[in-house]
Structure formats: C-alpha cells, structure tokens
Amino acid sequence: GAPGARGGEALHWQRCAIEGADPRQECATVRVPLDYARPNGRQIDIAVSRIRSEQPGDRHGALLLIPGGPGNSGLNGPSSKGQRLPSSVRGAYDLIGFDPRGVGSSTPVTCDLPHEQLATVNLRAWPDADGGLTGPVTRARTIAETCARDGGELARHISTRNEARDIDRIRRALGEDKLSAWGHSYG
C-alpha cells in the first residue's frame, strides 16, 4: 500500500489469513519499539487489519476496535464485532482491528506454561469450592512467576501505557490525524 494520507509509513495490506474473516478484510504489520525508552532499539510487530468504509464518499476516518482482556486478540474485529455495527457507522469509518503486543499475530510472548495451566478454569479467579481464595491466588502466583521467569524481554514491556503508544503508532501508520475508538472491558 501507499503511505498514509498524512505521512504514515507504508503499510503493505494483503488478504488476512484468518478463518472466517470477511473477504474485504485486509491485514498489515506496524513495527513499533519493544522499549519506547529506546525507540531505535529492537522493533516488534503489531498485526493490524481493516475493512474500508462501505461509503468512501461519506468517510469520516478510522474506527479502532480495541480488544478486551487484557490479552484478547482483536485482529478479526472488523469481520466480527465490526459487522454488527449499524450500516451508518460501517459507511463512515474504516474499521481497524489489531492484536496487542504479545498476542496472536503480533510478536507473541510465551511463558511456556503447561497446557493445564492455560485452561480457562485456571486462568480465571474462580473461588475454591468452599468459597476460599487459596487455589486461585496460588494459580495466579504460579502463572505470574513463570511468566516473569520465562516470558523474556517482551513480557517486561507489556503494559497499558505501551499499548496506548502502540495505538498511536497504528494511527500514524494509517496516516490519520486522530482515531475514533470503540473498546470494551479492558479495551
């Protein structure tokens, strides 16, 4: 693709390799600093997607669909929740999705957790059968300690502040002066 209208870096849009994605959805990659204190240091990938405005003559800008979680993928957002928006919104905005740093098609972080620790029942803080919290606190502590030990440098640079910085880099890469946003939960 060409550089954004306002000087964003060239994004190379291509069809998304996502099962069930709307055929209009395109994907690209935005490079961002791993550590914003060292902007010229190691770079990581943020996977972004878009479905262009359905009525380009009425386009008002880009609507970023911010995933919840934290830790949820949002790359298929334009095809999934974006298509549930009213046609007036789909007509006025390019729908933009992304996978936050460390998630999905962006540069991933892995903590090499055993499969049983990744089960939803272990990732959520459900109380013990007797209503106590010893089990979920122990599971959460084990996961946190494992990720601190085995998650690598990227795990140390996953934060709300860095996600906001990454979103600003997405905005710039799109060539937009500003973004509209629709987030839920953590997003």
**pLDDT beyond 50 at 129:** yes
What would the pLDDT profile of 132-177 be if each residue is shown by its tens digit? Answer: 889 888 888 888 888 888 888 999 999 999 999 999 999 999 999 9
Greater pLDDT, 58 or 8: 58
Domain with CATH 3.40.50.1820 in the chain: 1-109+159-187
Do 63 and 96 form a contact (C-beta atoms < 8 A)? Answer: yes
Would you state the pLDDT for residue 9?
Answer: 59
* Residue 108 DSSP SS3: strand
Confidence of residue 2 (pLDDT cuts 50, 70, 90): very low
Which residues partner with 32 through β-bridges?
44
Do 79 and 22 form a contact (C-beta atoms < 8 A)? Answer: yes
CATH topology of domain 1-109+159-187: Rossmann fold (3.40.50)
Average pLDDT over residues 18-25: 92
pTM for the full predicted model: 0.84
Cα angle, residue 165 at apex, residues 161 and 168 outer, rounded to 5°: 145
> What does the alpha-carbon distance between residue 94 and residue 175 come to, in Å, rounded to a whole number?
12
Confidence of residue 6 (pLDDT cuts 50, 70, 90): very low
What would the pLDDT profile of 60-100 be if each residue is shown by its tens digit? Answer: 999 999 998 878 899 999 999 999 999 999 999 999 999 99
Residue 26 has which token pair?
């395109």
Which residues partner with 93 through β-bridges?
61
Q: Which CA distances in Å does 67 have to 36, 37, 87, 138, 167?
A: 22, 25, 21, 27, 12
> What does the alpha-carbon distance between residue 160 and residue 57 come to, in Å, rounded to a whole number?
35
Residue 133: count other Cβ atoms within 10 Å of its Cβ.
12
Cα angle, residue 18 at apex, residues 171 and 60 outer, rounded to 5°: 30
**pLDDT beyond 50 at 4:** no
Would you state the pLDDT for residue 53?
Answer: 94
